[in-house]
Amino acid sequence: MLAILLLIVLIQWAGAESGGTQPDLDRNCSFEDSESVLLQLPQADLNQEMPDNGSSKLRPNQPVLNMGPLAKPKMVLVGQVSHLQSLSLNYGGCCFIIGFLALLPLVRLWARSPNTRLTKVNVITQIWFYVWLIGGLVMFTQFIKFNSAHSPEDPERHLLLPEAVYLMIQIVTTVGYGDITPATSNGRGFMSFYIILSILIVADMVMSTIGSVVSKFHAMELAMAGFLIDQGPGGDSIEGQRRKWYLKEKPAVRWGPLLSAVAACNIILLLGTAFHMVNSHPRLSWTDSFYMCTVTASTVGFGDLTEDGDSNQVIGTAWMLLGVGTFANLVVQFTKFLGKVQDREVYKLEETEELQLAKLKALLERTSKDKLDKDSFLRLGLQHLGMASASDIAKIDLIFQALGPDASGRLGSDEILAPGLEVK
């Protein structure tokens, strides 16, 4: 897999370095690139006198410039160095993003719970993920032709590696600017199936991996701090346990997760706004930059403002992943917060006491016993605390009888671990 990815990068780099992606003055051209191009234009000899009429144009028979034997090669070298630096930045950023995507399945395996087995479904989804990644890079850069709003002078061409990664992340995050679209009917057919694969498998893997990593670090933090996750108000005291038995606890509203999500989303949006204000061509105002970041992070993707230039597309690809992820986390935390607030407003102590007592009396009447032994109380407690229903307990009783207890009504470990038992 790594060999295939490296081969794709080398093919694209060789094509770019050989002149296939030389900068021009209309698209993705930095100040240094434009200067190097302009410096190679013919000029008048320094010893020649300028025309008397004040015109900057040369006379028909006027000698063409000669600034010295080393002047032009030096200027060409400056342009080449600037171009190679731009290629190094763009393709280096692409390699980082591709490497990050290629490691997602491994990170998902690392972040899974120790009690979770690796299933065939996990293996198949991981294989499809690499098919999506490698297949998309190969097809977009070598076979399918696209129309790009950033290069209208060059219609129906294969994408460069930065553009291919940029388009793939647009599909996964469902941003869909519309600035790069397939140019042929066959290309549109391939993209239809590619989009379905991206949404069904790849987007789920990206989001679930991020969620697994967050959950693992949260569990590690709790373990290091020595907290019990399920420990509630009242601790292990007798009074606390009695209160849990008789009363339903008032729903707690936690501000921490919501504030963390808001802070993370604001930081990402501010960084994106500052970047587009400085690096966009032409320069965008802070309102336009913030608008573009919001449209991207929310996956609305109007397409009126898009990333222009290979360098911007590389950085915009990484920002797109972070922006969509943080915004989705904000939506989830805000939804949970509103649900807790609503539950807290509905909660009333008096009504809760009456409901709990009525439920407990109904369960006691079903037992038809004046006094309960420990076994009966366990059954009552499981139902009263909502840990098991009456049908669940009845099913456990059936299993107990099917395993064949002895005359004293007990089961040995051999009966419990008996193989081949099927209980319907």
Per-residue confidence (pLDDT) for residue 194, from 0 to 100? 93
Q: What pLDDT, in 10s, does the model give residues 176-208?
A: 899 999 999 999 999 999 998 888 877 777 767
Per-residue confidence (pLDDT) for residue 358, from 0 to 100? 82
In this structure, of 10-24, 84-98, 242-256, the range with the lowest mean pLDDT score is 10-24
- Top CATH class of 232-346 equals mainly alpha
Per-residue confidence (pLDDT) for residue 154, from 0 to 100? 83
CA–CA dist 86, 115 (Å, integer): 47
In a 3-state reduction of DSSP, which class is residue 147? Answer: strand
Single-letter residue type at 392:
D
Q: What pLDDT, in 10s, does the model give residues 365-377?
A: 887 777 888 888 8
* C-alpha torsion 384→387→389→391, nearest 10: -140
* Choice between 220 and 383, residue whose per-residue pLDDT is larger: 383
The pair of three-digit structure tokens given for residue 410, joined into one six-digit string: 């007990």
In this structure, of 61-65, 141-145, 409-413, 416-420, the range with the lowest mean pLDDT score is 61-65
Q: Determine the Cα angle at 374 with ends 369 and 379, to 5°.
A: 70
Per-residue confidence (pLDDT) for residue 383, from 0 to 100? 86
Q: Please give the C-alpha separations between residue 393 and each of 84, 378, 380, in angstroms, as whole numbers.
A: 72, 10, 10
Q: Is the pLDDT of residue 44 over 50?
A: no
* Closest-CA residue to 400 (of 382, 388, 418, 387): 418
Per-residue confidence (pLDDT) for residue 95, from 0 to 100? 86
Segments making up each domain of the chain, as ranges: 2-39+69-222, 232-346, 362-416
Average pLDDT over residues 165-179: 90
Average pLDDT over residues 209-233: 58
Q: What pLDDT, in 10s, does the model give residues 84-137?
A: 556 666 788 888 888 888 888 888 777 776 666 777 887 888 888 899 999 999
In this structure, of 151-160, 167-176, 326-335, 364-373, the range with the lowest mean pLDDT score is 364-373
CA–CA dist 165, 313 (Å, integer): 9
